[in-house]
Amino acid sequence: MANTIVVEKHVEDEIARRSGGTRGGRRKDGAKPERHNSKDARRVLRLAYRTRRGMAPVYATSALALSGSVLAAAPDGWKTAVAATVTSAAITTAWGRWEGRVGKKRLRKRMPARNDFIAAASAATSGGGLVTAMAATGGVQLGDSPYPALLVAWGLGHGIYWWRRGRRTAAPVLDLTEQMKAWQQEVACSDGPLPNSKLVDVVTTDYGWTGVIVVKKGNWHRAASAMVDIAAALDLPEEMIQIEKATGQSARRAIIAVFNRNPLAKGTDYPGPQILDTTTGQAKAGIFYDGAPAHYAFWKPSGPVHTVVYGATDGGKSRFLDMLLGTERHNGIVSFVCDPQGGQSLPRWREAVDWYEDTAMGGMAMLYEVRKIMYERSGRYSMMEFVDHKGRKLRGRDHFVVNDPDPLISVTIDEAHRVLALPGAPALVLEIVLMARKCGIKLRLVFQGPKANMYGSGPESTDIREQLQSGNTIMFRTASTLTDSIGLPGWEVNPSQLPMYWPDKTSTAGLGYIKGPDNRQAQFRAHFDRDPAHWATTGDTPTIEGSAAACTGKAYTERLARLAARLRGETVTLPDDAIPAAPVATSGRDPIAAAAAAIEAEAPAGTDDTVYTFLLQRGRPVGRNTIAQETRLTVGAVKNALTRLKREGRAIDTDRGIWAHPNHIDEIAEDTELAAA
């Protein structure tokens, strides 16, 4: 049998045992243990962290007061305050202006807003100055000291901006949650427009919200092509949603923008000709829906950039041309304009450009003269001496440099289908489109739509369209869904679906898409030139160089006289030779031989007589270069003129490069003439 031990428990022993322990017990003096104090401190810190955004101005003010008091107690504490102030100001400036890239990846998504930068700079400099003053004069010093009031004023001043900003820009968490939930339920579901896709990086904007779509299979084109279905799934108006490529990100990602109001409805005014950056040849012709500038290329390093503009009636074509012509006039670009509608579309530029025609036949004559200028420049550039980027002196330039030595020529033809309907026009336009860029000439054709019949009935029509659309393509609202993919091939956009009016019943003129340097498949709106007459009546009209003018016929040289007669109400006709009956054909021939034949056949008007008169008055043999310098003609034009004069027996070459009138062949040429030859 096991032994049993009996232990007696007394009340006194139990009380002593309980009072001696620490687990759950109380001290005899009734004070809380130290761990309770640490719990309270942690609660305070957690509360301060949770309220850090709203209470930031209070915390910052308290930090300034504490810093001023601590530095006031330290010897030369004001020096530390000055150093801290300078450092904080430098950091704030870097924060407001720094933006870097690694390859194509941006290290920073967006720069701070201007107001935020100003507020941050003010807080850093004024706060630092306040701390420096306190450190130099003994701290806060309650009583008659002004520092408590200054601290309160500093905190309230910057706090009000901080609180208002937070209330204005804080993203509504519930709304973003609802947007993502709607996406998962309506769009990313198995029977939705984009099954298994994701919506990430959703942020609010002034006009609604934006996010990034990540498709499960395929690329961003799949999201763009499903834009209408996505709008229907989210129960949104079709015109209030935009989807475009996420530039610099994965090909599976697309940017979606949903508008509460279209940010392009207000539009922007044309700021002036300074929109053109003459170092790059690009102009800020409008804005995209997110406020980024939309660029239009006048030229690039290889030469001018052709342009085609599409748009239905009241789409904004004429006002867009007003802006471009005003930019050209005030940046030294020579403008030729043909308005076959009797000059009604672009009336302000009748007397403000180098050459203006208001009939389709006038436009045809203009194209023939442009062709002459093209070949004159081509022959001259092929023998031009220039210094390349490595400092080498070379002969024969294969590209065009603006204003070195000649200006860029921009040929604008509104309602171009009327000119291209004339016999021979498509072949002439195609020849210019293919060859003119190297000679500093750009074409800008304007149509109602991109159908092939707009480009004429010849086999060249499709080639013309393809060449023009390889440059700038501006497509405002069109009239048919069948032409959307023709005007912007490969783009997932629908210009025909653009609204004619905004919800407030105002016109959407200028709204469309632009394929240019930005290459963004997103809505843009061109600047609106409210006063084109101002830009048309100020400044000087740029004109072509003398050698180009010398190679043209009466269609160009008599243009101002015809314009004056037209303004007087007289009936005006083009010169008989404005449109050749049998233009020089170049197809099926060697291009070099064809160019040489064209240059020789299209003799500059009056050049032969000018050279013949010079030889007669000179009285002795003279070098070819001297003739060019004295008559202000190009060497190529003089050479061709001398060849023709020799055939006619009106000039004789007495030595290599030395020419004389037949009456003076026995005279002796000076050494300077031989050198000039």
Provide CATH 1.10.10.10 ranges for the chain.
606-676
Report the percentage of the chain scoring pLDDT > 70: 85
Average pLDDT over residues 308-323: 92
pLDDT digits 0-9 by tens, 437-480: 999 999 999 998 888 788 887 778 888 988 999 999 999 998 87
pLDDT of residue 275: 95
Q: Is the per-residue pLDDT at 217 higher than 90? A: no
**Of residues 472, 477, 521, the one with CA closest to residue 495:** 477
**Residue 35: per-residue pLDDT:** 58
pLDDT of residue 17: 53
Mean pLDDT of 520-547: 93
**382 vs 116: which has the higher pLDDT:** 382
Model confidence at 170, pLDDT cuts 50, 70, 90, reads very low
Per-residue confidence (pLDDT) for residue 108, from 0 to 100: 56
Give the per-residue pLDDT at 297.
Answer: 96
User: What's the rounded Cα separation, in Å, for the pair 140 and 154?
Assistant: 14
Q: Which of 33-47, 586-600, 652-666 has the highest mean pLDDT?
A: 652-666
Taking the model in full, what pTM does it have? 0.61
* Least confident residue range of 419-428, 540-549, 621-630: 621-630
Res 322: pLDDT: 95
Asked if pLDDT for residue 591 goes beyond 50, the answer is no
Q: Who wins on pLDDT, 246 or 98?
A: 246
CB atoms within 10 A of CB 315: 27
Q: Which contacts qualify for 36-39: CB closer than 8 Å, 24 or more apart?
A: none
Burial 527-542 (b: 16+ CB within 10 A, else e): bbbeebeebbeeeeeb
Nearest to 130 by CA among 78, 191, 200, 165: 78
For residue 638, count CB atoms less than 10 angstroms from its CB and return exposed for 0-12, middle for 13-18, buried for 19 or more. buried
- CB atoms inside a 10 Å sphere around CB 602: 22
In the predicted model, is pLDDT for residue 588 greater than 60? no
Residues of the chain with CATH 3.30.980.40: 173-259
Could you give the residue range(s) of every CATH 3.40.50.300 domain in the chain?
A: 273-550
For tokens 């001043």, name the residue. 157
pLDDT tens string 639-652:
888 888 888 888 98
Least confident among 66-70, 94-98, 364-368, 474-478 = 94-98
Most confident of 75-79, 380-384, 444-448: 444-448
pLDDT at 18: 52
Can you tell me whether residue 433 is helix, strand or coil? helix
pLDDT tens digits for range 497-519 = 888 888 888 999 999 999 999 98
CB half-sphere exposure, 552, CA atoms < 13 A: 23
Length of the chain in residues, anyone? 677
| pLDDT at residue 66 greater than cutoff 70 | yes
DSSP 29: T
Q: Which two tokens stand for residue 117?
A: 């930068």
Pick the CATH number of 273-550 from 3.30.930.10, 3.40.50.300, 3.40.640.10, 3.30.300.30: 3.40.50.300
Q: CATH top-level class for 173-259?
A: alpha beta
Lowest-pLDDT choice from 71-85, 339-353, 417-431, 546-560: 71-85
Tokens of 391: 């400092």
On average, the pLDDT of the chain sits at 82
pLDDT at residue 412 tops 90:
yes
pLDDT digits (tens, 9 = 90+) for 87-138: 888 888 777 766 665 555 555 556 677 777 888 888 888 888 888 888 788 7
Q: How many CA atoms does the CB half-sphere of 536 hold within 13 Å?
A: 18
Q: Is residue 450 within 8 Å of 465, Cβ to Cβ?
A: yes
421 pLDDT above the threshold of 60: yes
Q: Helices (H), strands (E): how many in the chain?
A: 24, 24
Report whether CATH 1.10.10.10 matches the domain 606-676.
Answer: yes
pLDDT at 284 over 60: yes
Residue 174: its pLDDT value, please?
A: 40
Q: Which of 352, 478, 486, 344 is nearest to 414 (CA)?
A: 344
CA distance 600 to 612: 17
**By percentage, how much of the chain surpasses pLDDT 90?**
30
Is residue 560 pLDDT above 90, yes or no?
yes
* Higher pLDDT pick, 93 / 538: 538
Looking from the CA of 123 toward its CB, the CA atoms found within 13 Å total 22
Three-state DSSP at 501 gives strand
Q: With cut-offs at 50, 70 and 90, classify the pLDDT of residue 176.
A: low
Average pLDDT over residues 380-384: 88
Q: What is the pLDDT of residues 13-46, one digit of tens each?
A: 555 555 554 444 444 455 555 556 677 777 877 7
User: Alpha-carbon distance 471 to 467, whole Å?
Assistant: 7
For residue 25, the model assigns a pLDDT of 47
Grade residue 535 by pLDDT with cuts at 50, 70 and 90. very high
Task: Look up residue 670 and give its two tokens.
Answer: 């000076």
**Where is average pLDDT lowest: 19-28, 125-134, 481-490, 543-552?**
19-28
Provide the 10 A C-beta neighbour count for residue 618: 19
